[in-house]
Amino acid sequence: MSDFEKKIGKHKVKVVMADRTVDMTPDDKDMDARVRAAVNSAIHKAKVCQKPIAKYDQRKKKAYVEDSNGVRKYVS
Name the pLDDT band for 73 (thresholds 50, 70, 90). very high
Query: What are the tens digits of pLDDT across the range 17-32?
Result: 766 556 788 898 899 8
pLDDT at 76: 75
* CA distances from residue 24 to 6, 28, 36 in whole angstroms, order as listed: 18, 6, 15
Query: What are the tens digits of pLDDT across the range 3-59?
Result: 778 787 888 888 777 665 567 888 988 998 999 999 999 999 999 999 999 999 989
Predicted TM-score (pTM) of this structure: 0.62
